[in-house]
A and B are shown apart, each in its own frame.
Chain A
Amino acid sequence: DVKVTQSSRYLVKRTGEKVFLECVQDMDHENMFWYRQDPGLGLRLIYFSYDVKMKEKGDIPEGYSVSREKKERFSLILESASTNQTSMYLCASRTGGDHTEAFFGQGTRLTVV
């Protein structure tokens, strides 16, 4: 079974803090993604990576950065957390071939106060 593991289920951080969300996958997938889920807005892509040290902006990258130093690990960084970044964050991984599904982690509910 593919496993995508996010380091925290719940996080509470203060405005202005630097926040790290970690994601690890165990299936040697080339592609990894960070989404956020908000009511009425669905899943929106923040950043994705198609290889080690490679990254591309998604639809809403502002206020975020990412790091992929190893194939199995993809980190999302909130440079200076703000209250509008309170959300459910979802990491996913996917093999490099066409027509395959993405596998998601369990999600991190981040609250910025």
Chain B
Amino acid sequence: DQQVKQNSPSLSVQEGRISILNCDYTNSMFDYFLWYKKYPAEGPTFLISISSIKDKNEDGRFTVFLNKSAKHLSLHIVPSQPGDSAVYFCAAQNTGTASKLTFGTGTRLQVTL
């Protein structure tokens, strides 16, 4: 049972444009969400997070939006750069249980020139 879903396996965006990566979850007990970026043959690196008490968090070119009623979050990258080409994973945690993170299946972003 996939509790965190990223329905788009891949996304291609032109340099300078906005990239929007989506993530849906089914467990209403999740209350903390994170985005990770992963290059081939490397471990994931943390990008940005959001608590369920907020609906938006911004860090430079990266903004995460959370819609709790829809159980949906999205990551916006503006402007997109070629170095952003990677696989992006969303992750979720229920802080009422053990501190494990449940990950989605990932979206491969390609930023073209």
B-binding residues in A (CB < 8 A): 4, 9, 31, 33, 35, 40-45, 48, 50, 56, 58, 90, 92, 94, 96, 98-99, 101-107, 109
Contact = CB atoms under 8 A, between A and B. Distances in A.
Interface stretch (B65-73, B78-86, B103-111): B103-111
Contacts, number: 66
Contact of B100 (A9, A42, A58, A99): A58
B3 to A, nearest CB: 10
Interface residues of B, number: 27
B99 A104 contact: no
Interface of B: 4, 6, 9, 32, 34, 36, 41-46, 49, 51, 89, 91, 93, 95, 98-106
A98 B99 contact: yes
A106 B43 contact: yes
